[in-house]
């Protein structure tokens, strides 16, 4: 993806988030609960391991709800925040598995640990579209 496409994804997510997750809005959703419910549903329908799922749950600590991205500064920072004891290789493998199962999508081919989190983005899209007056 180009930088422009990445910026567009984040901006689109922010617009939908601001519209749907505003507690003062007439139409308000609890994105965290909807996302977590969908995560559990998808996990149960895949062959993802419990380790993969626990890494994903830990990654929620780094989830930017407005832009639907997960940005982890480093494996060591992930371990310090989540108190995980997984080695770098196991964290890397779990993140790669989560990509293969469609939970997350790497933003670029660089060594950055930044991922698109399509589950909440899809929820925002469906709720945003459902609330458009026709």
Q: Encode pLDDT of 105-124 as tens digits.
A: 999 766 789 999 999 999 99
Q: Is residue 23 part of a domain?
A: yes
DSSP H helix total and E strand total for the chain? 6, 4
pLDDT of residue 87: 95
Whether 133 has a pLDDT exceeding 50, the answer reads no
Q: What total number of domains does the chain contain? A: 1
Please check whether residue 113 is in contact with residue 95, taking contact to mean a CB–CB distance below 8 angstroms: yes
The mean of the pLDDT values for the chain is 90
Instruction: Report the residue count for the chain.
Output: 134
Q: Is 81 in contact with 61 (CB distance < 8 Å)? A: yes
Instruction: Tell me, yes or no, whether 96 lies in a domain.
Output: yes
Residue-level pLDDT at 76: 94
What local confidence, expressed as pLDDT, does residue 109 receive? 62
* pLDDT tens digits for range 61-103: 999 999 999 999 999 999 999 999 999 999 999 999 999 999 9
pLDDT-based confidence at residue 134 (cuts at 50, 70, 90)? very low
For residue 56, what are the domain limits?
3-129
Residue 134 counted as domain residue: no
Residue 79 belongs to some domain of the structure = yes
130/33: higher pLDDT: 33
């Amino acid at each position: 993806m180009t930088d422009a496409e990445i910026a567009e994804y984040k901006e689109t997510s922010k617009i939908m988030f601001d519209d749907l997750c505003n507690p003062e809005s007439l139409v308000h959703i609890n994105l965290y609960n909807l996302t977590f419910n969908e995560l559990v549903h998808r996990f149960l329908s895949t062959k993802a391991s419990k380790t993969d799922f626990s890494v994903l749950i830990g990654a929620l600590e780094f989830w930017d709800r407005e832009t639907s991205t997960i940005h982890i500064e480093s494996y060591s920072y992930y371990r310090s925040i989540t108190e995980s004891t997984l080695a770098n290789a196991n964290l890397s493998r779990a993140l790669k598995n989560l990509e293969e199962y469609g939970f997350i999508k790497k933003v670029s081919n660089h060594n950055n640990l930044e991922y698109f989190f399509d589950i909440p983005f899809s929820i925002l899209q469906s709720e945003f579209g459902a609330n458009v007056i026709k």
